[in-house]
Each structure stands twice: as structure tokens, then as C-alpha cells.
Structure 1
Amino acid sequence: MRNLVLLYILTLSFTLFAKVNPHEVEAFITKTAEQHQLDADEIRRILNHAEHQQSIIDAMNKPAEKVLEWYQYRPIFITDKRIQEGVEFWQNNADVLHKVSNQSQVPVPIIVAIIGVETFYGRIKGNHKVLDALYTLAFDYPKRSVFFSKELGHFFKLAADGHVDALTAKGSYAGAMGYGQFMPSSYRSYAVDYESDGVIDLLDNPHDAIASVANYLARHGWQKDQPVVAKASKPKSKTKLNQLKPHLKDKKGREYTLIGLKTDEDNMAYWQGFHNFYVISRYNHSHMYVMAVYQLAERIQSEYNAANASTQNEAQQ
């Protein structure tokens, strides 16, 4: 019996280890070293610290956007606490937010709301080691292994350039990092060194994060003073709902997509999503995510204005 138990343990250990093919890892090392001009031995040394995490695979298979309806999803993000802390984040970083907004043309409330939805203004950035997350998904998540292999390569380049610590950086189960939850490729493409100190720190520097979120949206085509959504009536025909890219036209000639979301088990509400709706969706390809960002931004704007008006009234008394 003891021998059978030992055999079972050994078999289980081998099965867990075998989830990552060492030949694929070695091929990745060679390719990444050549592509990003990195030291292959250094990549290998760091990868020796990576651990496969089954919980990451499980999380990837059950994202909230795919298992929740809008009336279940919305209360996660549109809360009094998240609104109030959004106002406080705005107040604490007002100079940077307004300067960045003026340069990028992206409204302050949208920048704040994205950071609020992503990480509760930097409080919840993720507890997974980014190295473990990307290693697991690159070598044990076949349907997106190509994507995550590339992200792992970008992560090594970020580390080599001194922007992150490959062994200690933490983020989401998908490998997104910092206040705005940037994937490594987005980090390298859109992140901004606000202080011009030579290091782009999205994990601990809110100013770099603010500038980077705004730059991401600006580079994806944000249109100044244009709407994100507008309320709509129930469609008379069988219009396909919740496509992200605008493909219909309203009476003003504006392109939009029709969004339909369940407000409870029996009822639906509808919105027109315009070009800026699509721009926000480039950050997260979910119509519910965009609506959460938009509605949180609206509430933060309202509360921020009220707080400012109250302060001005007190000063005049």
C-alpha cells in the first residue's frame, strides 16, 4: 500500500511538471533573446524561478465579463466607496490629472474611472507574480499561448530596461501590472515617463500611471468633446447587440453600436455606443467594462463638482 501511495505521488508530481514542455521553454528563450537582444542565460536564470499556477488557468476560464449579467457586474464597480475614493484620487493628483488631460484631450473622469475599475486607485493591483502568470499562460494555455509568449518576451525586455523587477513584480492573473493594469506589450508601447527620470513605473508611481492611461486612450483615437454613450430605445428589428465597433448611423450621421444590458432578470436597457465607446473598449474588450467605466466616471464627476461647490461656499461664508 505504501509503495502504491508513493507511486501515486510521483506520478502526480510528474503530471504537474509535465504541463510545461521544457523544449518549448528552451525555444522561447532562444527566440526572445534574439528578438529583444537579451542574454539567453539571464532569461533562463529568471525562468528557473517561475512556477506553474493552476489557479491562473482556472481564472482565465471564468472571467467576470462572461459569467455575470450587467445587473450583477455593475454593483461591483459602481459603489459609494469607489466613487468617493475616485474623488479623493482626483483631489490628491489634481495638478497631474488636469495637465495630462489638457495634453491628451482625454477627460479627467475617464482617466480616474479606468484606474478605479482596474485597481481601486492602486489599492488592488493583483497578488500574482507576473512571471508565474505569464509563464503559466505561455506554456499551458494553448488557445492563447502565442499571445502570452509574446507578452512574456516583452516582460523580459521591460525587466532588462530597468522598469520592472522580473522576480518580484506582481499583477493580475493575466499578467497585467500597476495602477492601470498594463500588459507588458502595452507597457512598452504606451507607458509614459511623466517625471522624465528614465524609469517608467506603473506599479508604484500614480503620475506615470495617469499619463500612461491617457496616452493609451489618445493613441487609440479619443475624440475631444464627443460622447461615449447615449440612451436608446428598444430596437424594432433584430439588431445585433453589443458589438464593440460602431457600425450603425443615427439621424445626425454619427456611427454607433447598439448596447443592450439586463438591468434585472426580466428587463433590458439600451444605449448607443459611439466612437469613444470603442476607444475605451480597446483597454478591455468588454461592453460591460466600458459601461462600468463610463458610469463610474459620471458619478465621480458629479461628486467632485459637488465637493468643489461645497468648498467654495464655505470659503465665501
Structure 2
Amino acid sequence: MKPLFRYPRPLLLLLPLCLLFLAPGAWGEAVSPRPADLVREGQAIDLDSPLYRELFAELVAEHGFARRELEEIFTGLTINRRVLELMDAQWEAQPYHRYAPRLLTWWNVGNGRVLLARHRELLARIEAEFGVEREIVVAIWGVESNYGSTEGAFNIFQTMNTLFAAYPRRSDFYRQQLIELLLLSRENGLDPRAIRGSYGGAFGQAQFIPSSFRAYAVDFDGSGRRDIQGSVPDVLASIANYLRHFGWRFGAPLYAELGDRLGDPRLEEARLAARAGLLPREEIEALQGVALPPVVDNRPLRVVGLELADGGWRYLAAYPNFQAITHWNNSYRYAMAVIQLAEKFRAE
């Protein structure tokens, strides 16, 4: 069986020593090397490995691709080491007081207000059809691509193959995204090798991953095709359609303040459980000693903590609309930055 990669001989000889001396203590637990440390830039991907043999078999048997077609598309694939480095250094891991300011700049706020005015009629139609507030739609547009000016410089076909082949923690996810990319390219007459986007494989002004494009992108300009790269109506309507699918309700609360400390260990447990830590509104009220706005359909809430620059915390009850944004990006920091940007659009 051929290995997926052929590691340089010096790396193979040094790896046991690295595992010993990278330990936190003299005889402590070894620190695993990062995926980027195990490959070199431009390293060829072995298409005869079991990973790719199984992928190609599925593409042929279940999706109707020809073997020769796949060989033409995949031939010459190499690793993009920078993608692996960035996956282990994502900005969303920063504390909120460092993460949010780069998204809440005067430039982002000012340009968002200009675009809200410029696309007033379009956004009114989107609100009417999808039931998502225009400020939230434009805020996501701004955060994702600087209102279409920065869509990403990575070749997402190479990116997804890099992550499928050399990033074990997300390999299964990017295997499916590779399939989705090939399907959407075939459906829309695109060359999968020519699409550019982010190091995570998202593309277009809405920064959809391929599966999200296929599920939620819409044709809102009447062109007969879904275009999140060049059509502003399609971009904004697709953002709204995504949020609607994940339970967005027009005019419903996004969050409520809980103060600078949590009054019960059960609230801290819910916070640490993230998306799984849902509690009924009444329980949060009783445990924290606060009164909270009602919830549509009495849906449960999440407990969120935002890190402050002085070392303290700002705690929130995250309502279903807030939770809908975290389906887009599974980060409460991201969701709150989007909400704050939308709030700044409305501020005088």
C-alpha cells in the first residue's frame, strides 16, 4: 500500500526525538506535531492512496463522474502548507475584545450604511420574502467579504484537497465538501479548479462553503443561475435564505444582558457546553435573578460569555436569532460582532 505522502528521510529520523523534546515536561505527555509540520509546501498528493481510491469510486458510482474526467481534474494536486497553518490559527479563537474591533471599524460601519441606502429597494424585497432584517444581512456581507471586495485568494480546490488529505481532524468534512464542489461546478458550468476563496474553502461574496451554496443559495436577480460571486441580489438573498432556514424570526430578540458574573454553576456549565448548552428562559431567569424578554415558540436559550479587555466578562442570553448566526459560523464571537455591526448601522 503506497503512503499518502512520502516524507523526507531527515524528518522521519528526527520525528521520535521531536516527540520527546516537545513534551511539556521532561517525561510529560508528548505534544503531537501540527499537520503543517508533517508536510512540505508543494508536496504532491498521492491519488492512488486509499483515501482517493475510495473517493473516486464514490464519485463514479453515486454521482456519475467518469474515471478519466476525475483523473484530469485531480492530476497535479499539491499541498498548500499555508492552509494548514491558518487552520490552526483561526482569528475566532481570539478573545472578544481583540476579535471584534477589526470588524467594527469606521470603514465597515460607514460602507455598510452607504450600501443599505444604495440597495434600499432590494433589501426591502428581501425582508418581505425571507423575513430577515436588512442590517443583519448587510453586516454578514461586510464581515464575510468586505461587501464583496475581498472574496479570498486561495484556490479552493487545492484548499479542500489539502484539508482532506493532510488535516485529519476535518478530513471527513472536507471530503464531503470536495464532492459538493464538484457537483455544484457541474450543475453551474464552472471549472472547480478555477474558483478562489478562503483558506477554509468558502467562496463568493457570501463566503458559502459548497454544501451551503447547493442548499441555500438563491437566484434573486432572475438570471436563471445562482451567482454569489457577481450578483448582489443573489448574494444578499442567499444570506437571508440561510438564516431563515436556521430559524430566524423577523423582529425577535437577539440577546439579553445577564451581567458581569453568572449566579449559578448551572449557567456556567451551559456556557461551557456552547451549542449544546441550551436552557429554558424561565430557568435562566430563576438562576440569574433577571427578567428576560419572551421567546418565540418558547425556544431554549444559550448562555454566552464575551471576554473584556479588563479581564472581566459580559454575559448574555443568546436568543434563537443569535443562534441562527452561529450556524453560519460556529463562534459566539462572530455572531456578536455581526450583531454589533448591525446595531452600529442603526445608530445615529
Q: Same fold (TM over 0.5)?
A: yes
- Amino acid aligned to 1:98: A
1:102-141, aligned counterparts within 5 Å? 102-141=128-167
2:324 is matched with 279
Counterparts of 1:82-121 in structure 2, within 5 Å, are: 82-121=108-147
1:89 is displaced (CA, Å) by 2.1
Q: State how far apart, in whole Å, the 2-side matches of 1:300 and 1:165 are.
A: 38
Number of the residue aligned with 1:75: 101
Aligned residues between the structures: 294
Question: Which stretches in structure 2 are left out of the alignment for 5+ residues?
Answer: 1-6, 12-38, 286-290
Q: Give the match's secondary structure for 2:247.
A: coil
- CA positional deviation for 1:145: 0.8
Report the counterpart of residue 48 of structure 1 in structure 2.
75
The separation in 2 between residues aligned to 1:167 and 1:18, in whole angstroms, is 16
Structure 2 CA distance for partners of 1:36 and 1:248, relative to 1, 3 Å? same
- State the identity %: 27
Give matches, 1:106-185, under 5 Å: 106-162=132-188, 164-185=190-211
Structure 2 counterparts to residues 252-291 of structure 1, below 5 A:
254=295, 255-291=300-336
**Which one scores higher on RCO, CA 8 angstroms, separation ≥ 6?**
1
TM superposition shift of 1:36: 2.3
CA contact (8 A) 1:19 1:140 kept: no
Task: Letter of the 2:326 partner, please give it.
Answer: S
Out of 231, 235, 238, which is 1:205 matched to?
Answer: 231
CA distance, structure 1, for counterparts of residue 44 and residue 204 of structure 2: 31
Structure 1 residue 18: deviation in Å? 6.2
2:314 alignment partner, SS class: strand
Which deviations, in whole Å up to 9, do the C-alpha atoms of 1:123-148 show, x marking residues without a partner? 11110001111111111111111110
CA contact (8 A) 1:163 1:200 kept: no
Q: Aligned partner of 1:96: which letter?
A: L
Q: How does 1:182-197 map to 2 (within 5 A)?
A: 182-197=208-223
SS in 2 for 1:22: coil
Instruction: Encode CA deviations 1:72-104: one digit per residue, 9 max, x unaligned.
Output: 001110111001111122223222211011111
Contact 1:244 1:287 in 2 (8 A): no
Contact between 1:50 and 1:131, CA under 8 Å: does it hold in 2? no
What corresponds to 1:244 in structure 2?
Answer: 275
Q: Which deviates further from its counterpart, 18-27 or 35-44?
A: 18-27
Q: CA contact under 8 A between 1:21 and 1:139: conserved in structure 2?
A: no
Distance in 2 between residues matched to 1:295 and 1:163, nearest whole Å: 38
Does the 8 A contact of 1:163 with 1:201 survive in 2?
no
Give the structure 2 partner of residue 309 of structure 1: none
Shift of 1:198: 2.5
Aligned partners of 1:46 and 1:102: how far apart in 2? 42
Equivalent position of 1:28 in the other structure: 55
In the alignment, the residues of structure 1 paired with residue 229 and residue 115 of structure 2 have an alpha-carbon distance, to the nearest angstrom, of 16
